[in-house]
Amino acid sequence: MSFNVPDDRRYLDSHEWAIEVDGLVRIGISDFAQDELGDVVFVELPDVDDAVSIDESFGVVESIKAVSDIYAPVSGTVVEVNEDLIDAPELVNEDPYGDGWMIAVRPEDDSQLADLLSPAAYASQIE
């Protein structure tokens, strides 16, 4: 099976993605991750102004199969939370790179994204 791995993002080994948009880093989980989890039924996310730390859990995705931590690809301050996921957690399954995004962070250090997996490296990891 082939999974969608957009070229405009960077990835973590733990299947989160990050993309810089207007100086903020938007974060979600990959197509592969949502497929492995199955139907997402609940998402727990931090609050605006919470701090997140690179490689540390900032939330939880609960599916019919499992409960999984979500890890931060960068350190920084949460500036936006996707409130749509409270009432419609299935957006993570339906559109993991679009409407299923989770949080936006103001990064402490812009260079952190460069340390993440490239799309090609991530794609080879999940094949």
Domain membership of residue 46 as a residue range: 10-105
Give domain status of residue 44, yes or no. Answer: yes
- Is the predicted pLDDT of residue 23 greater than 90, yes or no? yes
Model pLDDT, residue 2: 85
Model pLDDT, residue 110: 83
Confidence of residue 17 (pLDDT cuts 50, 70, 90): very high
- Is the predicted pLDDT of residue 54 greater than 80, yes or no? yes
Model pLDDT, residue 90: 98
Give domain status of residue 4, yes or no. Answer: no
Mean predicted confidence (pLDDT) in 3-28: 97
Give domain status of residue 121, yes or no. Answer: no
**Residue 37 token pair:** 């989890």
Handedness of CA 69, 72, 25, 15 (dihedral sign): negative
pLDDT 10s digits, 65-124: 999 999 999 999 999 999 999 999 999 999 999 999 999 999 999 899 999 999 999 999
The overall average pLDDT reported for the chain is 97
Q: Which of 56, 102, 103, 55 shows the shortest CA–CA distance to 77?
A: 103
State phi, psi for 109 to the nearest 5 degrees.
Answer: -140, 115
Number of domains comprising the chain? 1
Mean predicted confidence (pLDDT) in 30-50: 98
CATH number of the domain encompassing residue 40: 2.40.50.100
